Chains A and B, each alone.
Chain A
């Protein structure tokens, strides 16, 4: 439940996309702090609840040997930082790359329509027509149809009724599902899912280096729910990620430490349930506030 560094890209992406422009400069920092605070508040409460229910009995003695605290040496900090950075690139980087290849393939296939014509050829033909706005719109529509009919699109649409109460669409649902083994893949998955297709990526605004944030913002703006309730949806995604157990290695460690399958299954189920309920409450309360205010916040 305590926020780890893997959640930070999700927070940064959605805070940068929806809580930066047009808001006081202190708000993004406050929201980021709130995401960490959720963990700090929820973890002791859950521990208390488990202690009063499943884990009743005498508290076992906990002994932890601590090293002598010393002021850090800059050289040690520097090399530790280099080591950790390289390890991340080698371990998480390869995992992210492999996941992205699979996500791309699921979003690419089948690459022909019902008549057996390749979507790519049809889009290329339409974009070759030059600056004709009608042809451009047709190409974008065809690209959207292709993605919706892909294996990932079909899976996402099947899953959509589950995530719709959170204000999410099938793309957010699939990106979240792809992040269950490891959260690190979420930004890459969203990058592939929100790629606008034949059109070049949207220009980043001044001081906004992330075109992905712009693409998500643009696509949500055209949607009746995510257009009006963009901030509650963004908060709902962040709250879900703050509380969900999307980490196969954590579950593996729980299984090894407890020598049972029951605890990792229980941890996964209760944390996913908790994240879902919290994300649902966040979206619904945010939606209610927006409706009360009478305009999109």
Chain B
């Protein structure tokens, strides 16, 4: 009887957790289902300062856009 009560409590807790996760996802406050890869929540690590832009990859197309017309 105690075992069954424990099982039912765990199942009820899981149901409540799922309902809460879905609600938070829908409201845009997700901490669980939404963005499960974490890419949208995890802060990007600080990069080493690179004042000379030594690691920059030159892109001719981007250069022409930024120095040329706005569109």
Binding site for B on A (CB under 8 A): 4-6, 61, 66, 68-71, 73, 75-76, 79-80, 83-88, 90-92, 94-95, 97-99, 101-102, 105, 181-182, 184, 248-249, 252-253, 255-256
| Given known A-B contacts A95-B18, A101-B10, A102-B11, A252 and B26 have beta carbons under 8 A apart | yes
The DSSP consensus for interface residues of chain B is: loop
Q: For the complex, give the distance between the alpha carbons of A91 and B36 in Å.
A: 6
- The residues of B that contact A87 with a CB separation of less than 8 Å are 37-39, 41-42
B71, A61: Cβ atoms closer than 8 Å = yes
Which residues from A are CB-within-8-Å of B34? 91, 248-249, 252
The docked-state distance in angstroms from the alpha carbon of A2 to that of B8 is 39
Cross-interface CB contact of A101 among B11, B39, B43, B55, cutoff 8 Å: B11
Nearest CB in chain A: distance from B18 CB, A: 5
Q: List 13 A-B contacts (CB under 8 A).
A: A76-B45, A83-B38, A84-B39, A87-B37, A88-B36, A91-B30, A91-B34, A91-B35, A92-B36, A98-B15, A181-B33, A182-B36, A252-B27
Alpha-carbon separation in the docked complex, A155 to B40 (Å): 36
Q: Could you tell me if A102 and B15 are in contact, using CB atoms closer than 8 angstroms? A: yes
A95 and B21 in contact, given A70-B56, A105-B7 (Cβ under 8 angstroms): yes
Task: Output the least CB separation between A80 and chain B (Å).
Answer: 6
**Nearest Cβ distance between residue A73 and chain B, in whole angstroms?**
6
Query: Which chain B residues in 9-60 approach chain A with CB under 8 Å?
Result: 10-11, 14-15, 17-18, 21-22, 25-28, 30-39, 41-45, 47-48, 50, 53, 55-57, 59
- CB < 8 Å neighbour of A69 from B25, B39, B59: B59
On chain A, the residues within 8 Å of B44 by CB distance are 76, 80
B36 touches which of A66, A70, A184, A253 (Cβ 8 Å)? A184
Q: A6-B36, A68-B53, A88-B37 are in contact. Are A248 and B22 (CB under 8 A)?
A: yes
Q: Judging by beta carbons under 8 Å apart, are A249 and B30 in contact?
A: yes
Is A102's CB under 8 angstroms from B18's CB? yes
Contact for A102 among B14, B22, B39, CB less than 8 A: B14
Give Cα distance in the complex from A66 to B59, angstroms.
Answer: 12
CA distance A85 to B36 in the complex (A): 10
Residues of chain A contacted by B33 (CB below 8 angstroms): 91-92, 95, 181-182, 248-249
Contact residues in B for A252 (Cβ distance below 8 Å): 25-28, 30, 34
Residues of A within 8 A of B45 (CB): 75-76, 79-80, 83
Q: Give A81 Cβ to nearest chain B Cβ, in Å.
A: 10
Decide: A98 and B17 in contact? CB cutoff 8 A.
yes
With A84-B37, A181-B18 already in contact, 9 other A-B pairs whose C-beta atoms are closer than 8 Å:
A73-B55, A79-B45, A88-B37, A91-B41, A95-B18, A105-B7, A248-B26, A249-B33, A249-B36
Contacts of A95 in B (CB 8 A): 18, 21, 32-33, 36
**CB within 8 A of B48: which of A69, A73, A98?**
A73
Find out whether the CB atom of B47 lies under 8 angstroms from the CB atom of A73: yes
With most chain A CB atoms within 10 A of its CB, the pick from B7, B36, B48, B50 is B36
Please measure, in the bound complex, the distance between the C-alpha atom of A70 and the C-alpha atom of B32, giving whole angstroms.
Answer: 32
**Distance, CA A237 to CA B59, complexed state (A):** 41
Check if B25 sits within 8 Å of A101, measured CB to CB.
no
> Of A61, A75, A105, A249, which is within 8 A of B25 by CB?
A249
B36's nearest neighbour on chain A, judged by CB, is: A92
